[in-house]
Structure 1
Amino acid sequence: MRFTAVLVFLTLAIVANVVNGLYFELNGGQTKCFIEENPKDTMLLGKYVLEDMNPPNGQVNTQLALTVRVQDPEKRELLSKTMGASGRFAFTTQMGGEHKICFSTNTSKWFGPSVKTRLHLDIEAGASANDYEEIAKLEQLSSMEIAIRRLNDRINQIRKEQSYQKGREIVFRNTSESTNARVMWWSILQLIVLVLTGVWQMKHLKSFFKAKKLV
């Protein structure tokens, strides 16, 4: 019983959801983008609420809409979606790297001031994006089983992160070694040019002195 309690405690401590929560102003005609760097086959879930900072007559503005666009590291579009004043969006990375997530609203106007809005945004990645309560209902899992499921998903995500970082390290090392080799060969080339230039100048001066009968 004690071992079970310890296991549950450690599981909850390890797999505590990591949520990137923030809010910012997003006025009409503006587009704001963020970079999320994740390994391949990682699901990202975004939850948002778009708030009118100056609602007409103090009422809730139900006409607000948010457009979300996502590009992968190769500038290919993964997601382009227009939604209401609140909602959620999700996508799964097809390759590792920096994914660009952009937000814009429908609040720009030809005449008069643009509507000022505030976007409340939470982005969850990997195992944190899974709805384990829904999974438990669908698969009829016990609290212990769902805790183990959380832990397993978290471990798999950590392995993906490690593999991704290892790949980046290999790329950076190869780039560094290639740069160092180029610098070395460029220095050698400069040295050879300087030596050849010095030899040529000495021969030229010697011929000049002989022509002037100074030697």
Structure 2
Amino acid sequence: MCGRVQPCVLTVLLLSFCSCFVSSVYFHIGDTEVRCFREEIPDQVVLIGNYRTQLYQQSGEYSPATQDLRILVVAKDPDDELVLSRPFSSEGRFKITSHKAGVYQICLQSNSSQLPLSAGGELMVHLDIKVGERTNNYTKIAAEDKLTELQLRVRQLADQVQQIKKEQNYQKLREKYFCDISHNTNLWIFWWPVVRSLYVVAIITWHTKSW
């Protein structure tokens, strides 16, 4: 059964590779409305979210949000434990480091007393989430460490190799998880008819003795 999981793993890896080209999303939220995203990441990987907001006018136009607008960012780990809960300004970024491989949930909520939102207006949020090696600012790294172009390229390749290793380790954990589920399911399918048959035999025997 574990061998059948291999195509699924390859599919997940292909989808993960393709998702690297998706840089950002945007969405509308009302006052106190919550929007959540789920990000599947390996262990000990950095996740950075950059965002900016705009006010949506009833006329269909957008205007910059003022500084008193607050965005509450809440992040939870795969065990549903809180790893980040902090209000940010109308534009900024948040950062978390995974301490366990799995699916992390990131929620954004607008919390403002601005008239357009409180009167039923909407807020447009541009969100860009980067994970792992994509979070590194190599221009800044090259300037701080005084790296040549070749040294910087070597650094990038080394970081990419580390990211691939983490992804592979995470996929191995997922494969083991699915194999365990398959094994337990097969055991249940095998033993359930046996238990049911024994139960029927016990009922028939009890009724026979009672007669």
1:54-87 Cα offsets, whole Å, 9 max, x none, are: 2999863313221111111112221122222111
Partner of 1:72: 77
Whether the aligned pair in 2 keeps the contact of 1:19 and 1:123 (CA below 8 Å) is no
Q: Which amino acid aligns with 1:42?
A: V
Residues 1:183 and 2:189 are matched in the alignment: yes
Runs of 4+ in 1 over 4 A off after TM superposition: 55-59, 108-112, 198-204
Partner of 1:89: 94
Partner of 2:103: 98
Match of 1:28 among 31, 41, 46: 31
Other structure's SS at 1:20 match: coil
Cα shift at 1:196? 3.7
Give the TM-score taking structure 1 as reference length.
0.78
1:172-206 Cα offsets, whole Å, 9 max, x none, are: 211221222123112101112233444555666xx
CA distance in structure 1 between the partners assigned to 2:185 and 2:209 by the alignment = 36
Whether the aligned pair in 2 keeps the contact of 1:107 and 1:115 (CA below 8 Å) is no
Higher mean C-alpha deviation, range 141-150 or range 186-195: 186-195
Partner of 1:150: 156
Other structure's SS at 1:134 match: helix
CA distance in structure 2 between the partners assigned to 1:29 and 1:170 by the alignment = 40
CA distance in structure 2 between the partners assigned to 1:190 and 1:89 by the alignment = 55
Cα shift at 1:20? 3.4
Other structure's SS at 1:25 match: strand
Q: Tell me: CA distance 1:18–1:90, structure 2 relative to 1, closer, same or farther (3 Å).
A: farther
Give the TM-score taking structure 2 as reference length.
0.80
Partner of 1:138: 144
CA distance in structure 2 between the partners assigned to 1:151 and 1:178 by the alignment = 41
Q: Tell me: CA distance 1:183–1:66, structure 2 relative to 1, closer, same or farther (3 Å).
A: same
Q: Which amino acid aligns with 2:84?
A: L
Whether the aligned pair in 2 keeps the contact of 1:46 and 1:88 (CA below 8 Å) is yes
Partner of 2:120: 114
Q: Tell me: CA distance 1:108–1:168, structure 2 relative to 1, closer, same or farther (3 Å).
A: farther
Whether the aligned pair in 1 keeps the contact of 2:36 and 2:108 (CA below 8 Å) is yes
Q: Which amino acid aligns with 1:52?
A: L
1:17-53 Cα offsets, whole Å, 9 max, x none, are: 6443100001102011111110110101111111111
Q: Tell me: CA distance 1:46–1:112, structure 2 relative to 1, closer, same or farther (3 Å).
A: closer
Q: Tell me: CA distance 1:40–1:194, structure 2 relative to 1, closer, same or farther (3 Å).
A: same
Partner of 2:65: 61
Same amino acid, percent of matched pairs:
31
Whether the aligned pair in 2 keeps the contact of 1:38 and 1:97 (CA below 8 Å) is yes
Partner of 2:13: none
1:145-186 Cα offsets, whole Å, 9 max, x none, are: 111111111111111011011011112211221222123112
Cα shift at 1:107? 3.0
Whether the aligned pair in 2 keeps the contact of 1:108 and 1:115 (CA below 8 Å) is no
